[in-house]
Every structure is written in C-alpha cells, then in structure tokens.
Structure 1
Amino acid sequence: MAEYNTIGTRGVSGARAAQIDVGLRAHMNKVYGTMSVGMLITALAAWAISGLAVTSVPNEYQIGADRYLTEIGYTLYVSPLKWVLMLAPLAFIFFGWGALMRRGSASAVQLGFFAFAAVMGVSMGTVFMIYTPFSIAQTFIVTAIAFAGLSLWGYTTKKDLSGMGTFLVMGVIGLLVAMIVNMFLQSGVMMMAISAIGVLIFAGLTAFHTQEIKSTYVAHASHGDQEWLDKAAFDGALSLYISFLNMFQFLLMFMGERE
C-alpha cells in the first residue's frame, strides 16, 4: 500500500502524502462500513418479506410441496407487479443514481443507497422462500471470504486494473442479455453457464472497483472537497455492494439447497 500511495502522490510533500494516506484509510473504512450496513438492510428486508410464504394456509399460490404465497406475496412475485420489482433497481442504477450523485447532497446520496438496499431486499425475498437457511448462510460466508480476498488484492496490487473495466462492463451487459433470453428458454444448462460466468465477472469487478475507489481518492484528496469525497465513498460502497450481491446470488445457484 505504501508503494502505491507513493506513486499516487508523487510530487506531494511527505507530510501531505502521509495525511492523504490516513485519509485514504478512513475513506476505505467508510466505504466498507456503508456497504456492510447496506447488506444488513437487504438481508433484513429479504428475511422479513419471506414471511409472505406460509405453510399453514393452503391456497392456489403454491410454490412448493407445502409452501404457499399469501395474497401480498402473490401480488409482489407472481402478478405483473413483479416486473416493477425486478426492474426498479436497474432503473435506479442506470437513471437515478447518476443524477443523485450530481445534484444531491452527501446525506441524500447515503439515503438513496440505503433505500436501494431495502428495495433489493424486497426483490430478493424469494431467496428465503426457495433455499434453506443453512445453504444461504453457507453461501454468504463463502462469498464474504472470496470478496475479502479479491478486494484486498485490488487494494494492494501494483498492477493497473483500469483496463479491465470496459471488458467487465461489456461482460455484465452480455450477461443481462443472456439472462433475459433464458427467461424464455428456461434452460438449466444455460443458467449454470450464466452463473459461472457471472461469478467470474463480479469477482473481477470487486478487485477493479476497489482499486478504482482507492485511486480516485488519492487523485482528488488534495482538492479538499469533503462533500465530494463523502459522495464518492457512497458511490464506491454501491459498486462493491452490487459486486458482492451478484456473486452471492450466482454462487447460491451452485451451492444453494432448495426447500
């Protein structure tokens, strides 16, 4: 880390470079802390909404051998409203987040991130309905270990990962197209291939975004714009949150044990 900071702060006095290094540590702690709170909000929302699947009130909304959706559960996950629930997070990422970053205050950006995490939790409520709690916990631990290793590598590596960015983003777009196509094909083999590629893509994005967050801070710390740095921390938290969540979901398709 010290070598990277020396490169990133070349021409800056030793005292100033040390100050930037201290600020970088605080910045990364804020990124990881905000991301962790977002993950907690998502998990709590998903767990709470999973109560929309019950075992004691049989009705026509059966989703398993002895599992049934309540009326609200049917509205969210079976009726046309499911498309709104599925597409709302994507719409926020592609259209809402950029505007919020440009025009909103740091507190508004933070609130937007937590609101997004809550909506993601609602949309992921079916995870607790479909998979056993043990397999969910097991997959989460595996994802957390992999994420920590990849993020640490992205933070400490001397290799410039910026060239990976365009390639990985194109991979995400291709992945989305493949998933939409498979919604109609319903191919199990294709879904497994999509999951494997998805794990690799978001593993790469974890390392890439970690280095990007670090290099962005080093490049702008000398400007002294704390409001912008605060928003940049929340932007970084969102990037890592999305990478973690997607790795978890794709790994769950391999490791998850269904109810």
Structure 2
Amino acid sequence: MSFRQRPLLDVAVSRNRSDALSIFMSRVYAWMTVGILVTGLVSYFVGNNPQLVAKIFMNKPFFWMVVIVQLLSVVYLSVMVNRISATAAAITFVMYSGLTGLTLSMIFVLYSQASIASAFGATAISFGGLSLFGYITRRNLGPIGSFCMMGLFGLIGLMLLSL
C-alpha cells in the first residue's frame, strides 16, 4: 500500500496547474494578437505612403539598421525575459512588432491590399479567437488540438473578411 494515496489532492493540484497553463497560454495568444495588429497597422501605414517606402527601402544603411535592431530586440527578449520587468518586455515586444511592420511594408508594393488585409485579418482573428477560447474555457492551449482550433478560427476569419 502506498502512502501517496491522495487522489483528491492530486486532482486539485493537476486542475490548478491546468488552469494556470490555460491562463498563461491565452495571455500568450492575446499578446500575439496585439503584435500582429501592430505589425499590420504599421506595414499598412508605411506601405501606403510612397515617400516612406522610398526612404526606408532606398536608403540601404537605414533599412539594414531597422533589420538589425529588429533582430537584436528578439535576442534581447530571449536573453533577458526572466530579468526585465513585464513593462519592459511589453515595450520591447511592441517595438519589435512595429519594426516587423516596417520591414514587411514592402509587401504593399508587391501584393494587392485585399490579399494583404485578408492574410493579416485572418491571422489576427485566429490568435484573438484562440486567446478568447482559452480564456473562457480555461483549456490548455498547448496541445495540437489547439493548433487545429486556430486553423478553424482562421478559416472563420477568412469567411468573414470575404463577405
């Protein structure tokens, strides 16, 4: 006979971990939604301003500086994530999202606004919907089933955007 027969306690601990993980994952998806929206808005604003596109992409040193700062912000977040405040991490992430928008703004020269809006909209709806799903249901968003649920929200988003 084992002295570790505490099934109710084990269930309670397991449920608390699962709830904590689902809350954490839903917050991750919420922040990804914010990042995608910032990226989309910045790339839309810059991509629809021919003077800004020319200044960014014709000035090679400036363009490479933007790319390097973008990459350095990822390295900074990766290395410092456990040592910086949540506010500093949020500011760095939003800055990274904005810089990503700058580097992606060239797609407005290559693709139609409708196809770009559909792609960004479907992605934002996917992350937002999955975040809301995890927050409401308190389900763990880590397993592959969540990936499929994200695909479903993406398809719903595409349907809504094509109406």
Name 2:105's counterpart in structure 1: 125
Name 1:89's counterpart in structure 2: 70
Q: What amino acid sits opposite 2:73 in the alignment?
A: F
What stretches of structure 1 of length at least 5 have no aligned partner? 1-11, 54-69, 159-206, 208-259
The alignment partner of 1:104 has SS state of coil
Which structure has more RCO (C-alpha within 8 Å, separation ≥ 6)?
2
Name 1:42's counterpart in structure 2: 39
Name 1:78's counterpart in structure 2: 58
Seq. identity, %: 23
Q: What amino acid sits opposite 1:137 in the alignment?
A: A
Q: What amino acid sits opposite 2:91 in the alignment?
A: L
CA distance in 2, matches of 1:122, 1:93: 15
Task: Indicate how the Cα distance of structure 1 residues 24 and 141 shifts in structure 2: closer, same or farther if over 3 A, else same.
Answer: same
CA distance in 1, matches of 2:67, 2:34: 22
Alignment of 1:108-119 (within 5 A): 108-119=88-99
Alignment of 1:59-208 (within 5 A): 70=51, 72-80=52-60, 81-94=62-75, 96-140=76-120, 155-157=142-144
2:43–2:102 contact (8 Å) kept in structure 1: yes
Q: What amino acid sits opposite 1:121 in the alignment?
A: G
The alignment partner of 2:106 has SS state of helix
Question: What is the number of equivalent residue pairs in this alignment?
Answer: 128
2:66–2:103 contact (8 Å) kept in structure 1: yes
Query: How many angstroms does 1:140 deviate by?
Result: 4.1
2:33–2:124 contact (8 Å) kept in structure 1: no
Name 1:189's counterpart in structure 2: none
CA distance in 2, matches of 1:144, 1:41: 10
Name 2:23's counterpart in structure 1: 26
Q: CA RMSD of the aligned region, Å?
A: 3.1
CA distance in 1, matches of 2:120, 2:16: 36
Query: How many angstroms does 1:141 deviate by?
Result: 6.0
1:87-106 Cα offsets, whole Å, 9 max, x none, are 32122223x22343142112
Name 1:181's counterpart in structure 2: none
